[in-house]
Amino acid sequence: ISVNSSFLSNNVPIIELEKPNMNEVIRQNQEDDKNGNLYKYGVSIMCDIDTENSGKWETLEDGSKVWRLSISIEGALALGLYYDAFWIPSNGELFVYNQDKSQVIGGFTNINNHESGVFANELIIGDFLTLEYHQKGNNKPIIHINEIAYCYRAIKSLNQARDFGDSDSSCEVNANCSEGEDWTNIKKSVCRISIKTGNSYGWCSGAMINNTQ
């Protein structure tokens, strides 16, 4: 993204993964609805993708290198990447973007390294994404993707503000009306969070709690 694209080839390797069995996903969602379980929006697809076994490295005129790989899963409303091994050296930078580059996240650097060695990035809208890693020097990154979230519903709200009446549950209290008077302060901390349960991902509400004392 920060590299002049004229220096890069147009030939980016693409990994096309098989979409999940949506008939089974729909059946499970119906069971969840009956039992009042978490509202699911995505399902896991396991994979084995890293900078050594996939993608393409290119060397630029200044001696720096760029690694790129595209991933596609037919029909996905969005894709989420989960890394079970993630380490970016001080001379590296990772970007992830959708097909038309209307959504670009990164660059992720060594600041994003965690002692656990794992990482995840926000959902990329659409069924096609590209990873682009920039390397200066000889230190290579550790980037291994073991799981991809295939998102099949409730995704448009990532780019669009929710409006009145858009609650996913009829039991939720409208904090901006008279019934929400007891939550005047608390409502400022409410957020939507993504929860992984088993092989699925679901939306839930959460709250930020001040624990400074």
pLDDT, mean of residues 199-211: 86
Examine the pLDDT at 142 and tell me if it is beyond 90. yes
Chain mean pLDDT for the chain: 89
Examine the pLDDT at 204 and tell me if it is beyond 70. yes
Confidence of residue 157 (pLDDT cuts 50, 70, 90): very low
Cα 92 to Cα 210: distance, rounded to the nearest angstrom? 35
Confidence of residue 162 (pLDDT cuts 50, 70, 90): low
**205 contact partners, CB below 8 Å, separation of at least 6:** 172, 190, 191, 192, 193
pLDDT, mean of residues 65-82: 97
The secondary structure of residue 37, as a DSSP letter, is -
Q: Which residue from 38, 6, 42, 26 is spatially nearest to 149, judged by alpha carbons?
A: 42
Cα 116 to Cα 73: distance, rounded to the nearest angstrom? 28
- Indicate the pTM of the whole model: 0.82
User: In one letter, which amino acid is 27?
Assistant: R
pLDDT at 25 (0 to 100): 95
Examine the pLDDT at 130 and tell me if it is beyond 80. yes
Residue range 98-114, pLDDT digits in tens: 999 999 999 999 999 99
pLDDT, mean of residues 143-148: 98
Percentage above 70 pLDDT, the chain: 90
pLDDT, mean of residues 168-182: 79
Examine the pLDDT at 3 and tell me if it is beyond 60. no
